[in-house]
Amino acid sequence: MVALWCVFRVTLPRYTAIPSRGAIARRISAASTTVMMSAPGALCPEFHPTPEEFSCFATYVRTIVEPACHRIGMCKIVPPAGFFTRAYDDLEFTIPTPLTQYVAGKKGVFHVDLVTRKSMSLDAFRALAAAASPNDIDDPALAPLDVLERKFWKGLRPTMDPPTYGADIVGSLFGDSPAMSWNVNNLDSILRTWVDLPGITQAMLYFGMWSAMFALHTEDMELYSINYLHTGSPKVWYTVPPAHASRVERVCQTMFPHEHMACHEFLRHKTSLVAPWKFQEFGLPYSKALQGPGEFIITFPRAYHQGFNTGFNIAESVNFATLRWIPLALEAKVCKCVPHNVTLDMDLFLTQLFKASRPGSRALTSDDWVFSCVCLKFASSADPSVVVEDKWFECSSCLIWCHLRCRYPDLWAAAAQDDTSLPSTLLCHRCCCDDDSVQGTRRSISRSAPTPSPPPPKRSRADVYAKNARILIASDRGVREAKVVAVDGAFVRVHFKGEACATDEWIASTSSAIVEGSSPTPQKPPPAKKRRPSSINKTPRTLPKRPKHQPKASSKVN
């Protein structure tokens, strides 16, 4: 039977169980920390959970961390002693693509160029990190935070010795250990319902050294991130609250105008670094953290963050999500400068959210619900209060709630007049199979759905478009003329006629969106220079042979 709601305001409890004394203390501590966040540069909230509280990652994040820190954008979690142990001295690892970071800029605004080096062993990287360590800091773990900050930002200049960072290496050091449900490579998250991507649900390793930095950015698809420092020197983090993300983007547009002209999502390139005092100049609040070995850092959706390493260390990171993330993901933007971007089809995600949960998962409870209608309204049980404007119905297939008026206007009108009972099966706009019933759904942010699809028809070699080829592309805006401006394997970057470069898109050369294409116009060779007419007869003259006994005439002019 389809449930029907006609409610004007629903207030849901934030916690489903009576909190322990330790949990209450943590919330009070987090609340006091939130008040302190009014001062720019304050330390982010820090949690010390008990083993009982720490035993379930999904529950702890949903009930303790999120309510206290989702407006701050970052928090540090110090786990109970002994939650995970392993040795790191005997590691045998090869860093496949270490990145050397070359800095350009001044006065707190820097651009970082990333140059890929040859692969190196972990021992070679450790030796390189030891040579890069500053001589005036014996142990970064014992140095005050302000000393580390001053040393890093004062030394950041184009003439500095470029650091090397081993970043984005798929792998994990947790192994099969459950780590009290905090194994970064196996977190209980709603993302694991159907997606499996490196860096998103598969952990990545990071090998740092002194001054190796990670630039200002938010996560792909505005996801949460969790970072665990396995061993080595601390990391320094800076974060701007999510509510100020748009201001950060506008400020960075003025600081990096050329990058913004080339790509409106240039901050996703992770090559822009801004000193914290520049945030203060523009009135942007920020928090910071010093992450030591054995500690977690969690960043929140739409929270811009950056930082640097204070010496050799090994960290592990991955993305995760909760119900609070979904409305931000529906509005997430992607960078179109490269053909391979992390995108999620949110319509497909919502249809699988309540149907494909893993056995034993606590990422969703029996009381959780999601409202996502074709009219772009969104609400969920993660919000403390929800405003309901009209009657709802629950989709019989995906269990997502929608407005009855938006999806079935005739049934809504009949129910409003005589309270007619509804059919036993009602489908939302995502699950309905009829193309005619699909009404203006939310803007798609994924070029391809993760579900398997039949392979496209093979094209001949003549159909592979080269640079400068003219093609016609069909989209929701009609058929537009475009020009191929770059080619990367099976992908081409197209520039639409009469539009800015920021609207360029990468598409597959075999895409069905290409209506018509033509090979690039062959460039004509430059015309040969015309010789001036000469009065001399063009018939070659035969010079008389010189007698053998006659000496050769000299060409030197006296």
Please check whether residue 58 is in contact with residue 362, taking contact to mean a CB–CB distance below 8 angstroms.
yes
The single-letter code of the amino acid at 102 is Y
- Using the structure block, give the residue that is written with the tokens 């720490």: 54
Lookup: tokens for 8: 């004007």
The single-letter code of the amino acid at 327 is P
Q: Which of 264, 305, 403, 429 is catalytic?
A: 305
* Alpha helix (H) residue ranges in 196-345: 245-255, 257-262, 276-281, 326-330
Chain centre to alpha carbon of residue 396: 33
- What superfamily would CATH give domain 94-330? Cupin (2.60.120.650)
The yes-or-no answer on residue 73 being catalytic is no
The yes-or-no answer on residue 481 being catalytic is no
Q: Which of 287, 317, 380, 509 is catalytic?
A: 317
Q: Which of 22, 108, 177, 217 is catalytic?
A: 217
Residues 6+ apart with CB under 8 A from 411: 404, 420, 422, 423
Separation of alpha carbons 539 and 530, rounded Å = 18
pLDDT tens digits for 335-389? Answer: 988 777 788 889 999 999 998 777 788 999 989 999 999 988 899 999 756 666 6
Burial class (CB in 10 A: 0-12, 13-18, 19+), 366: exposed
Q: Where do the structural domains in the chain lie, given as residue ranges? A: 94-330, 346-437, 462-518
Give one word for 358, left, alpha or beta, with left for phi > 0 and alpha for psi -120 to 50: beta
Q: Which of 41, 199, 292, 294 is catalytic?
A: 199
The yes-or-no answer on residue 199 being catalytic is yes
Residue 232, classed as helix, strand or coil, is strand
Q: Which of 53, 66, 149, 219 is catalytic?
A: 219
Q: Residue 307: which of 44, 125, 70, 123 has the closest Cα?
A: 44
- Using the structure block, give the residue that is written with the tokens 């959970």: 49
Q: Which residues of the chain have pLDDT under 50?
A: 1-38, 434-463, 519-523, 534-544, 547-558
Separation of alpha carbons 4 and 392, rounded Å = 6
pLDDT given for residue 464 in this prediction: 56
pLDDT given for residue 19 in this prediction: 38
The yes-or-no answer on residue 517 being catalytic is no
The yes-or-no answer on residue 217 being catalytic is yes
Separation of alpha carbons 132 and 139, rounded Å = 14
pLDDT given for residue 432 in this prediction: 81
Q: Are strands 287-291 and 42-43 parallel, antiparallel or unpaired?
A: parallel
Please check whether residue 211 is in contact with residue 152, taking contact to mean a CB–CB distance below 8 angstroms.
yes
* Cα dist from 191 to 204, 350, 464, 530, whole Å: 16, 11, 36, 70
Separation of alpha carbons 497 and 475, rounded Å = 14
CATH class of 462-518: mainly beta
Burial class (CB in 10 A: 0-12, 13-18, 19+), 425: exposed
Long-range contacts, stretch 408-414, CB < 8 angstroms, 24+ apart: none
pLDDT given for residue 149 in this prediction: 98
pLDDT given for residue 462 in this prediction: 42
Q: Which of 60, 206, 286, 304 is catalytic?
A: 206
Please check whether residue 74 is in contact with residue 287, taking contact to mean a CB–CB distance below 8 angstroms.
yes
Q: Residue 73: which of 212, 253, 214, 225 has the closest Cα?
A: 225
pLDDT given for residue 387 in this prediction: 65
Separation of alpha carbons 460 and 464, rounded Å = 7
Half-sphere exposure of 397 (CA within 13 A, CB side): 12
The yes-or-no answer on residue 437 being catalytic is no
Please check whether residue 313 is in contact with residue 229, taking contact to mean a CB–CB distance below 8 angstroms.
yes
